[in-house]
Structure formats: structure tokens, C-alpha cells
Amino acid sequence: MPVSPDPRRTGSTSAGRSAHTRRIRRAALTALAAAVCLGLTAGGPALATTAPVTGTSQATAPSFQENYRPQVHFTPAKNWMNDPNGLVYYEGEYHLFYQYNPNGNTWGNMSWGHAVSPDLVHWQELPLAIPYEGDQAIFSGSAVVDTDNTSGFGTPDHPAMVAVYTSAYADGRQAQSLAYSTDRGRTWTKYSGNPVLDVGSRAFRDPKVQWYAPTKSWLMTVSMADEHKVEFYSSKDLKSWSHLSEFGPAGAIGGAWECPDLFPLALDGDANRVKWVLVVNINPGGIAGGSAAQYFVGDFDGTTFTADDEGTYTPPTGTVLQGFDGPDYGDWTTTGTAFGDRPVSAAESGVTGVDGAGFVDSFLGNDAATGTLTSPPFAVTADYLDFKVGGGNHPHRSDAVIDPQPAPAGTVLADFEGADYGDWTATGTAFGPGPAQGTLPGQQQVTGYQGNGLVNTFLQGDSTTGTLTSPPFTVDRRYLDFLIGGGHHPSGAEAPTVFELLVDGQVVRNATGSDNEHLYWSSWDLSDLQGRTAQLRIVDQNTEGWGHINVDQVVLSDTRVLPQSIETTVNLLVDGQVVDSATGADSGHLDWASFDLRAYRGKTARIQLVDMNTGGWGHVIADTFTLADRPALSAAQRAHWVDYGKDFYAAVTYENAPRRKRYMIGWMNNWQYGNAIPTSPWRSAQAFPRELALRTIGGKPRLTQQPVRSLNSLRDGDVVTARGVTVRDGSVPLAGGRGDGQALDIDATFALADARRFGLKVRTGPGQETVIGNDAVNQLLYVDRTRSGAVDFNAAFPGVQTAPLAPENGKIHLRVIVDWSSVEVFGGSDGRTAITDQIFPAPDSRGVQLFAEGGSARLDALKLWRLGSYRR
């Protein structure tokens, strides 16, 4: 989204280095980093005329049996899909509109796709509903049935369905517009008076509209994304809107606020005790990283939403190892120049969340320097090390190296040493007639390339665009190694700066710079593409800050080059090894973090702050290291999350559902890697619809959720049961393999014994498993997808997601939906916690196992059903 760019991120040598620069970058933190709910990225709003980066053959009919194709979850036949939109029930049909690219399999050309279902399970895809126009993309929104014909678009006997959506104009402005249908949503007419609500903002989006009966008016809940606010408006006719109030900032604010939804629920099923729930999706800054959906519980009086008072957070007390309030670092030692010789004064900085008079900040006027700051050894005498961290989001990688590496041996596809690009084909003007000879006029110094030449699209600054495509080649080595730098604008962004690998015209790998003029080694594992014909494409479609890309030394090799460290982290070292690490969120705000020290009791440890990054947000901020008996909780950890997985976003609920049920659907993907998941000819699925309730848990009202009951209609064959099975320190196949399958519905109850961890492994096969477990020590539900199949397409994909889950009467209850490329886990008898994760296992990874670690676990009872396709 367009903002005044951080001068340190433009690539220009004239970038300012003053305190004023620091204030700018603090204010612009999320706007410059977020890829938004509607598909916005750091480059700005989508132009409706954006050409798709990839296409899908119109002549190839999808089989719906392609590798990874969901059988239980809705996917379009082909092309890119993201946010669910316009969820409304009308005349026996649940309507699912969604953000859709009619022209390709990555984000772009945003329009509304359309599907309908009689039961929220069996979906029929309909023709495109609301298409993009030449100067306008159709972003997220909602739909209502105008029963009283307040808008005049229909009649009292034949009411119109009215869509309220965000118009994203070519000039960057976002405003709210209307379209209407008088034939059950099959065809749509855009209102001639659009937009109906325009506040002159570039981050004003995602209207959720409902009828509010007490005032006999329409209520709009809409986001001011960059301000972390939700605005409320009222209208009598859907055309003229008046402002009521606003809510926020509150809860998690580590990214843009998007796709809000406000709705009432009866607490504990009591119709006389109604509370209101405000869902606010956030990207980045989710509990598992990247995209997620948080919620607030409170009251709404027709004008204002007031969240329940959760009280002021007080972190645990303990022994302060270092507060950085003195004139120097004391006995902490530095290397390099990033940290200077003393802490930064809180009174002289724009950093927020500082405790005391000083703190550590490796910015020191610019991000050009690197170095470390290391504590003396200390004895681990407490269970946790609590501290505050901020700055850049550049995590520690255990496989990264500090020192530069030579080019690997192999087939050099391009070294860009010639006077021209040879048999590579250029379009546009960004690449010029041939490779650049290093740094271009007006550019910060470019380093890290080899030889004399490289691809460098900083031609005429960042004002030029184009592509550079290789001739076809055969993949005959395991790895593709290359040097890359420049801007961080991923594949599928409105304005990408990206290096792509294409097979059959589809992007199967992509990489981008990190807003840094240094070229770092990167590598793709091509094991699954051996013998295939491929092409490489370098894309620069960005004219904003860091709107260029640098590439050099493209080599097919049997050797994988290791990535070079670009971390900005706080690391915990034990026996000289990094055992835990934390990084910032591209933020000038210090937030609490904590390292679990229990495994290191009695040992000696060190704290090391590391800044190895010279690009945008290439610094780390830290304060107040404290040994404590309890972990300090970040704002994200203290927030309430609809789902704790990586892949549940843009979540909104249905209007007009029968029996006043409240059903929710979320986009089953994450903007961290959404455009890169290895699926074709479609990309992205919607999460399985879930029914919401509000229950009193731990004395507080909390959301609970369960898959809609009509899931039962997909059960195929006899139920598989197991009862009274004890597992000791290992894994055993469930029911002798009778429960194996690619799509499953599992209902299991475990009794606590002495195992530290226990649960289920699904989609198991040679070298593959997705672990769904309970951490009995920490009372956590978790999903481990680090060995779930294809995980190497993006560094943010593999990992372990956790959610709080305390036992109920000594038992742990799990409901699990397994599909060809996902797991959805609902913990607790009432579904009080959920984790939704994509997985990409091999088709023959079909096993289901019980497991226990560190002792024994007992499966009380289990029922398992194989699931058929909703398309049957």
C-alpha cells in the first residue's frame, strides 16, 4: 500500500540518515511490510489491468484428481483464489463469493468468483460474478438480501441481493461500492452511483454489512487497515452512509487490520445473555506468523462496540540481567559496528515500549553496519528468560553461514558476463540492452555479485519495468543455485520483483530479494522436477521503493549452497550453539518475548544480539533481559485467536443462515507463501465451514467451533473404531492400517498418563508424517508439519504450530479433518481451540498412527471415517 517510503528502503544513495528518518520508518512499519487480506502488497493497491504472471490453459479441463487437490474443501476448477466474500444464505443456497483471478494461478486481476451449496459441503462453481474493470479491482466485501427493498434495486416480492465491496482504483484509492442481483446472484449490475463511501484513503477496505433490527438500518463494519482501527457506519438504503464510531487499536497490531466482522452470539446458549464478537484479521503479525484471525468479545449498543476489559498486562518479575540503563554496555562485548559503544537513550528515540532510560538498537542512524552484542556467561537458575524485542523481521537460520561462499560446480545457465543477454529474452525497459556492470547511477553500492556483470534492474532508478526469460532447459541436477538481491516483492504481488522457475508455464519456485543491495546465495531443491523442461524468468513490475531486482550466477548443481545469514535476532547460546532465537516484526515497538530455559537448568548460557542485515529493517532492538519463573507474553500471545494455525485467514461469517446459526469460512492459506504453494491448475482452498458458539471457559467468554454437521454426508464406508489402546514411547499403526487414507474424519479421546507428548500421526509414508499431538507438560495442542511432504518451497512454511489446550477431566479430545493437502484440528470436547494447516504429502503417504513420547499414553476411544469428494 502506498505510503511515503522509508528513505532507507529506496536503494538511493541520497537516502536520509537523520532522526527524522527514524520517525518515518517507525510510522510506516506495517504499510511497508504487509501483504494484505485483499492481496495488497508493499507496492500498493492492485491495478485492475495488472497482467497475470502466470496463466492456465483454457483448453485443459481439470480432473479434480490432481496431486494435492482437496476433496473436502472448496477449490475453483482453476486459477488463484483468496478471501471468502459475500457469505449469505438465500432461497436454499449458501453463497460463497471469493477473491479470484480469472486469468491466472497467482494473485492479480481481482474479481469475485462464485459458488453455491445447499449444505455448506457440496459446492457448485458458478460463472464469474463481479469482474475487474480497466481502472478498478473488485476487492473483499459482503452480501446481503435487501428484503425490504431499502435500496430500490429489487421489489418487495423479489428482493435484490446486494454486494458491498471495496473498489481498488488505479490511483491507489480504496472506497466502498455496490453491485446488485435480481436472479439469485447469477448476474450482477454495478451501481451507477459508485462509490457509496469514500474517505480518501488508500487503506480503507473489506466492508461487512448486516441488518441491525433495533434501529431498522444497515450496519457496516469496515477496516482502516494501517491505523489498526475498525470503523462502524449506518445506512437506511445501502447508498448513503453515516459514521457511528471506531474501535482500536487493541489486541495484536503487528500488521494491517483487515476483513472485520461483527456478530452476536448467545453466551452458553442463553438467548437472554447475548454478547458481540468482533473478528479482525491481521497480516502479518499472526500468532503463528504471517496471516491470522483474532477476535474480541464485548457489547454493541447500536453505535459503539466496547470490548470486555481484559485488564492491564503485568509481566512476571525476576532477576534483571541487563536493562541497558547505564552509560555503556558494561561487561557485554561487541563485534562489528552495528551496536556502537553504548545503549540508546529512550528520550532521544522514536522507539516505543522501552523500559527505563535506555535500550539496544543496532540502527544507529542507518542499517549499513553489522555486528553482535554478547552477554557474559550466566547460570541458568530460572525457568524462563524474558525480554523485549523489536526491529527487523529477519529470523535466525541454523543452516545459514556468515562467510561468503564460492560458486558451486555445475552447469552455469547464466553468469551475465557478456555484452548482452545472449539467448535470454527481455521485455520492457528494466533490463536495458545487457547486464549491468555493478552499481548503477543513484543506487546504493551493490555487493555480493561475482565477476563484472549481473542483472540489475535499477535502470533509471526504480521507474522501469520488464521481464527477462531464459530459453528452455532440462532439469538434470538436484539444485538450482543463484545469487539474488534487490527488492522484496514476491511472486503474485501486484508489483513483483522476483526470480521464478516455470514448468509448463506455471511458477513452481520463486525467490525475491530482502530490500538489500547485497546479493546472497539461494537454492531450490529440484528433486521432484528431474527430467522436466523448465524456464527461468526475472520479473520487475515495481516502480516504488526497492522496485528492482539483482540476480547473478545461476547454476544447475548437485551441491546446495547454504544461505548467508541476514538475521536481526536475539539468540540464546548454550555450549556455544544457538538453542533459541527471536526476531522483531519490522516494528519500532518493543514487545515481550520469552525463552524456555527449563531444559538448560544448571547450565551456563549467553545472550547474543545479532545484526547481519544491511537492508530495510536491517537492525534489532532489545531491552530488559530478566530471569523469571514464568514466561512473559507478547501482545500476539495475549490476543484471542480464532485459529492458531498458519492457514486460516480473512475469516468471515454467514448472514441469514437458517435457525440463526453462525457459520464461518476462512481462506486456507497464508500471505507469507500463498503464491508459492505447489498446486496447479488452481491455487488455494477455503477452510471447511465451521459453526461458532460462545462458551464460558476459565471464567471468560470464548469462541468455540466445530465442523458443520453436514460433513457427515461425505463419510464413505464403515467406521473404523479403536478403544483402550496403550502406546509406549513410539508409534503404532492405527487399527492395523485399516484407518489409512488421504481424506479422513477422526474423532479421538486420549486419557492422560505419563507421556510428555502423545496423539496422532496422519498422512504418514516414507520420510513423511504430519504430527497432531498434545504437549502434556505445557498443556498445548500442536501440529508439526516439518516432515509433511513438500515443505521447501518457502522458508516460512515448515514449522510447528501450537495452541492452548488444557485437559478436561483428565482427557484430551481431538476432532481432525484430513484432506489431500490440509489438516484441521479442533481441540476440546467443544472445539475451544483450533489449528488449520496446509500439508503437501505424496499421494501414497496415507498412514495413520498413534504415538507417545517420554512415557505411555492411552487412547480411550476413536472413530475414523474415510471421506469422499464433495463433487460426487
Active-site residue set: 83
Return the DSSP state at 737: G
Phi-psi category of 330—alpha, beta or left, where left has phi over 0 and alpha has psi -120 to 50?
left
- CA–CA gap between residue 90 and residue 295 (Å, rounded): 27
Bridge partners of residue 652, in order along the sequence: 665
Whether 296 contacts 243, CB under 8 Å: no
How is 327-338 classified by DSSP, letter by letter? SS-TT-EEEEST
- CA–CA gap between residue 49 and residue 268 (Å, rounded): 49
In sequence order, which residues have a C-beta less than 8 Å from that of residue 513 and are 6 or more positions away?
484, 485, 486, 487, 488, 497, 546, 549, 550, 615
- CA–CA gap between residue 786 and residue 773 (Å, rounded): 14
Tell me the three cell numbers of residue 676: 508459492
Look at the block and give the residue holding cell 454489512.
209
- Picking from 42, 29, 22, the residue whose alpha carbon sits closest to that of residue 546 is 42
How many C-beta atoms surround the C-beta of residue 20 within 10 A? 10
Helix runs in 442-506, H state only: none
- Picking from 169, 163, 142, the residue whose alpha carbon sits closest to that of residue 48 is 169
Tell me the three cell numbers of residue 195: 462509490
3-class DSSP state for residue 501?
A: strand
Whether 321 contacts 332, CB under 8 Å: no
- Picking from 827, 831, 832, the residue whose alpha carbon sits closest to that of residue 709 is 831
- CA–CA gap between residue 79 and residue 824 (Å, rounded): 23
> CA torsion angle for 239, 245, 251, 256 (degrees, to 10)?
40
843: cis peptide before it, omega within 30°? no
Q: Write the secondary structure of 709-728 as one string of H (helix), E (strand) and C (coil).
A: HHHHHHEEEEEEEEEEEEEE
Tell me the three cell numbers of residue 493: 504481488
- Picking from 788, 636, 742, 71, the residue whose alpha carbon sits closest to that of residue 313 is 636
Strands 682-683, 79-90: pairing kind: parallel
3-class DSSP state for residue 638?
A: helix
Return the DSSP state at 2: -
How is 400-445 classified by DSSP, letter by letter? -BSS--PPPSSEEEE---SSS-TT-EEEESTT-SS-B-SPPTTBPP
In sequence order, which residues have a C-beta less than 8 Å from that of residue 200 and are 6 or more positions away?
173
Whether 825 contacts 835, CB under 8 Å: yes
3-class DSSP state for residue 273?
A: coil
Whether 92 contacts 138, CB under 8 Å: no
- Picking from 416, 435, 414, 423, the residue whose alpha carbon sits closest to that of residue 480 is 414
Please tell me the number of Cα atoms within 13 Å of 53 on its side-chain side: 35
From residue 228, alpha-carbon distances to 248, 255, 256 in Å are 6, 8, 6
Return the DSSP state at 121: S
